[in-house]
Structure 1
């Protein structure tokens, strides 16, 4: 009997701890805002994204989240409205993999209410690799080409950009409690970055002769593509001509559906009930929404 009691005392805290953990999933869209995509929020040129993670509840309203999200970013001057950008005729696509740690604050306790708005913020690390296709359909990664003189001997101040960067994620959403174990929601999250090269465009054109000598003809061809357009200007812009806007860094964002599944069974660890039933006090708010 004593052994049974000791075993129950040992297992009970583990059970309560398990109820604080959730497996989370995300499915939706990824997009970016930068030199090839002017709008801050749009579904134009968006791509699919998905993610997996875990959540640990610190209290009824505050949680820590960790996860991975995979998506794709793209932009094309042909889809811009600014005539200057259309004439430049650049485009890119990049895979995106992000790992993050977030703090989430819910305005209502989901053990008592059926839905709640929430906000989140945290720290992320992401990797990207912009590429494009030439007129024959051949794929080229852009960073090694140094399209704005990165790594060229005559531009010592232009260093190759790093393809792994830090981001600051933040956003908001709504969560709905489907049952004691499962929540469903919608969220949108922005990522402030500290790079202007997600799209491989930031500053000015460089001397095409220097670019040709150190990076080859493909670097010159893919750094300015106006000549590919019907009635486009085939003349490469002069050294120092504006190619992008370096004062504003690139952003990217995700929006979509979230799902959370609580580990363990019964009501939440903060509800005050030992099983699947709530107390009289917590039954009342369930009917408010």
Structure 2
């Protein structure tokens, strides 16, 4: 497979799953809800190991959702955001010495299930507000980049740890989080949520395992760039075999924000 291309064996199951749920719910669902959301994005991984609430970028997204009743709904969600981190800004002296940085754009599509604790949706239900939780399954496209000496590098093309997995630009993810919904007027609603995503990759930040042996790039036309991007440390920190990232096998990212929704309600949907 050419580095950076999409392996369809990972994408087809998601397409089939989305199609199946939309077909079933299109028959049985009572209402359609659409919404827009904006806010911040954060990341936990090899460059931010201890702060799950740190915001490093922005996010914006939208969804189409089918409300089965006042408690359950299933929706297709799209979110665009950015995350970043920079060792040079860390308070950890070892991180400063490691001197790695990255920034990546995230484009995410998820199939998400919501559960309301109270019987609610804007335009129906018996309550005007509710806390809720959600989970689901989806996929995210990403492409980490780094800047050194005012030059930007697309890191996944350099195999900075000598591993082909770093060349991928997509991964499956599992979203989960909590939120609060409030009916504003008639079919119009307001919501706020914080949601985390466990990505099935450790390369959102292009950092995962150990510093490689430079011989893996022998006679490579980009050898000098590969060596530097693999180890941009200030004091030749990255000897082959030394741990480059932490020991967790998956990166996590977060979207937090506030949004507005509109529910299209048929006459029969006012009673549950």
Common topology (TM > 0.5):
yes
By how many angstroms is 1:236 displaced?
Answer: 5.6
Higher share in strand: 2
Cα–Cα, structure 1 residues 241 and 57, in superposed 2: closer, same or farther, change >3 Å?
Answer: same
What is the TM-score of this pair, normalised by structure 2?
Answer: 0.82
Give the secondary structure class of the aligned counterpart of 1:86.
helix
What secondary structure does 1:269 align onto? helix
What does 1:167-246 align with in structure 2 at a 5 Å threshold? 167-211=173-217, 213-214=219-220, 215-227=222-234, 233=235, 235=236, 237-246=238-247
Summarize the alignment of residues 20-169 of structure 1 with structure 2, pairs less than 5 Å apart: 20-44=31-55, 46-110=56-120, 111-135=125-149, 137-151=150-164, 159-169=165-175
Q: What TM-score does the superposition give when structure 1 sets the normalisation length?
A: 0.77
Three-state SS of the structure 2 residue aligned to 1:249 is coil
Higher deviation after alignment, 167-176 or 31-40? 31-40
Equivalent-residue separation in structure 2 for 1:149 and 1:163 (angstroms): 16
* 8 Å CA contact retained: 1:60, 1:270: no
Query: 8 Å contact 2:159–2:167 — kept in the other structure?
Result: no
CA distance in 1, matches of 2:215, 2:30: 64
Give per-residue Cα distances to partners, 1:164-218, cap 9 Å, x unaligned. 1100101110001101211101101111122111100011111235436334211
**Is contact 1:93–1:132 with CA below 8 Å preserved after alignment?**
yes
8 Å Cα contact 1:181/1:265 also seen in 2:
no
Distance 1:247 1:47, change over 3 A: closer
5+ long unaligned stretches in structure 2: 1-27
Count of paired positions? 241
Tell me, in whole angstroms, the C-alpha distance in 1 between the residues paired with 2:271 and 2:113.
21
Partners of 1:222 and 1:58 lie apart in 2 by 50
The structure with more radius of gyration: 1
What do you get for the CA RMSD once the two structures are aligned? 2.2
User: What per-residue deviation string (whole Å, max 9, x for no partner) do you get for residues 132-185 of structure 1?
Assistant: 1221x121100110100125xxxxxxx544221100101110001101211101
Which deviates more from structure 2 when the two are superposed, residues 251-260 or residues 205-214?
A: 205-214
Q: Is the 8 A contact 2:166 2:203 kept in 1?
A: no
Can you give the 5+ residue segments of structure 1 that lack an aligned partner in the other structure?
1-16, 152-158, 228-232, 273-289
CA contact (8 A) 2:97 2:237 kept: no
Q: Distance in 2 between matches of 1:242 and 1:122?
A: 33
Distance 1:43 1:179 in 2: 34
Is the 8 Å Cα contact of residues 203 and 242 (structure 1) preserved in structure 2? yes
- Counterpart of 1:259 in structure 2 is 260
How far does residue 219 in structure 1 lie from its aligned partner after superposition?
Answer: 1.3
Shift of 1:62: 0.7
Of stretches 185-194 and 212-221 in structure 1, the one that deviates more from structure 2 is: 212-221
2:20 matched residue in structure 1: none
4+ runs deviating over 4 angstroms: none
For 1:36, what is the secondary structure of its paired residue? Answer: coil
The alpha carbon displacement at 1:72 in A equals 0.6
Deviation at 1:221, TM superposition (A): 1.3
Q: Distance in 1 between matches of 2:219 and 2:41?
A: 37
Indicate the residue corresponding to 1:249 in structure 2.
250
